[in-house]
Amino acid sequence: MLYNENKNPLPLWAMLFPSLFNTIIILTVLIIVAVLSIITKKLTVAAGIAAIVVGWVIFAGAGYVGELQLFTFFVLSVLATRHGRLLKGKDHGEIRDVWQVFANGGVAAILAVLAMIDYNHTELYTLMIAGSLAAATADTLSSELGMVYGRRTFNILTFRREEKGLDGVISIEGTLIGAFGAFIIAFIYMWDRSLWVITLAGVGGNVIDSVLGATLERRKMIGNSTVNFLNTLAGGLIAWWLF
């Protein structure tokens, strides 16, 4: 949260564009990352634009720490998706659309707007942002790397062995990798006791993601983007509950 010389909160427009220097730096980085992602076919053009907007709003509401969490999620997701691609199948790692960008970063962006508006609870909202991004990171790493390193994959509800890659199927190895991803996001935030709060929020969101995959997604009642959105929402709410 930014304040003027009289210690009063700045208006929303001033927080969205805090200074010329910060504006140039952040927008330049966001545009470069988006353009490279479009060129390398990781994002559609619309998704690239959405990523710039989401990234900017998170910076305005959560500052450089929030932006670093988002960037860390993005880098880890790209690396995890590319790793072991041959084992995952030819169609794996397809280009992401605008809905997938919003599914992973939309909750954090909404919370960032609330952090700018509700001055008295900024710390809570930034904690929830971290929990949301920790859940997104845990889900991506556990699913992507669990397909590579998971020795025994099973349905999260029935505990019966099932094939890798199916909705709601997890592995011990993948779950632990996901927890470590959540810990990385928590470590970036790391205020007071928040390290374990954010880590647990990430793990909890990931578990809810798997449960939704094993139930509603398998029955085609909701799609993967909706599951991811609910995963990040759960991560933020769990962080709030543990706060």
Distances (CA, A) of 7 to 2, 3, 10, 26: 9, 5, 9, 25
Find out whether 130 and 186 touch, Cβ atoms under 8 Å. Answer: yes
For the beta carbon of residue 23, count every other beta carbon within 10 angstroms: 15
Residue with tokens 């992401």: 96
User: What pLDDT was estimated at residue 25?
Assistant: 87
What confidence tens digit (pLDDT) does each residue in 185-214 have?
A: 999 987 656 889 999 999 999 999 999 999
Task: With beta carbons less than 8 A apart as the criterion, state whether 153 and 171 touch.
Answer: yes
Residues belonging to the chain: 243
pTM of the model: 0.90
**52 CB neighbour count, 10 Å cutoff:** 19
The H-or-E segment that residue 163 falls in is: none
pLDDT (tens digit, 9 = 90+) per residue, 136-147?
999 999 999 999
pLDDT in tens, 82-134: 887 777 765 555 689 999 999 999 999 999 999 988 878 989 999 999 999 99
**What phi, psi does 11 have (nearest 5°)?**
-65, 165
